[in-house]
Copies of this chain bind each other. A is one copy, B any other.
Amino acid sequence: MDFYEAITTTRAIRRYHDEPVPDEALRDILFAATRAPSGSNRQGFRFIVLRKGETADAAKSLLAHAGRAVWDRKSVADGYNRGSGHIADSPKARMAATMRNYVENFQQVPVVILGCLQRHRETTDLLDGGSVYPACQNLLLAARALGYGGVMTGFHRAVHGELASLLGIPDNVTIAATLTIGRPIGHHGPVRRLPMSKTVFENSWDEAPDWAVDPEGSVFTTARW
């Protein structure tokens, strides 16, 4: 697949066919992930793949439980059950239905991958994300290029200790991402984002340069906040 096609059509995919992801595809996806840069090239990124079996099922169950709690809180806090969330075909109602379906069926997701960071000091901060999220993005892009789709969530946060015990994750490792991967139901359309003039500046904050113009045919969305 062409690079620009992959990068402009890698959307969050939360509905998957009930089809296993074969070893060869996982190898190619994880190989891409591990090509990512990291601070001082420490390569502290680690990936734990969870598909079938007792341990994978137990880990998925912990994450499914956490995911439902996250969405229960968020759907109330962000008013997904109010306003346009009540209009059956509004973007908000569609997102609410997708998220509800995602968390209710999390246990059946074909592949869960925990993106981890082996720390080089006691705590982590924002900048440490530069040593693990580029690899997670490579992973999602490669999945797309191979005809799969996925999404990154923070569902591990509420169950970090339980997951670490279950999977034998050492104390000097932090789980940074919960990624799910599978064969998408539906199709990969173009990614929708804010217009570039809202996010790309030159020389000063909020100074959109003349050249920061989205290609013809770009589709936009507002930012949820």
Q: Give the B-binding residues of A (Cβ under 8 A).
A: 1-8, 10, 12, 23-24, 26-28, 30-37, 39-51, 53, 55-56, 74, 117, 120, 124-130, 132-134, 136-138, 140-142, 145, 151-152, 154, 157, 167-170, 173-174, 176-177, 191, 193-194, 196, 199-206, 209-215, 221, 223-225
Contacts and interface: CB of A to CB of B under 8 A. Distances in A.
A131 B44 CA distance: 19
15 contacts: A40-B74, A42-B223, A43-B199, A47-B201, A49-B201, A49-B203, A51-B202, A126-B132, A126-B176, A129-B130, A129-B132, A129-B133, A130-B136, A130-B152, A130-B154
B127 A176 contact: yes
- Majority SS at the chain A contact face: mixed
Contact of A117 (B36, B41, B44, B126): B126
A137 B193 CA distance: 17
A110 B144 CA distance: 32
Contacts of A173: 205
Given A133-B134, A205-B170, A224-B42, A125 B127 contact: no
A31 B201 contact: no
Contact of A4 (B32, B117, B211): B32
Highest count of chain B CB atoms <10 Å: which of A39, A46, A129, A202: A129
A206 to B, nearest CB: 7
Contacts of A7: 32, 35, 138, 141-142
Contacts of A191: 35
B125 A133 contact: no
Contacts of A152: 37, 130, 134
A53 B130 contact: no
Contacts of A157: 127
B32 A205 contact: no
- For the complex of A and B, 5 pairs with smallest distance between CB atoms: A129-B129, A23-B211, A134-B137, A133-B133, A43-B223
A177 B136 contact: no
A120 B206 CA distance: 18
Highest count of chain B CB atoms <10 Å: which of A196, A203, A214: A203
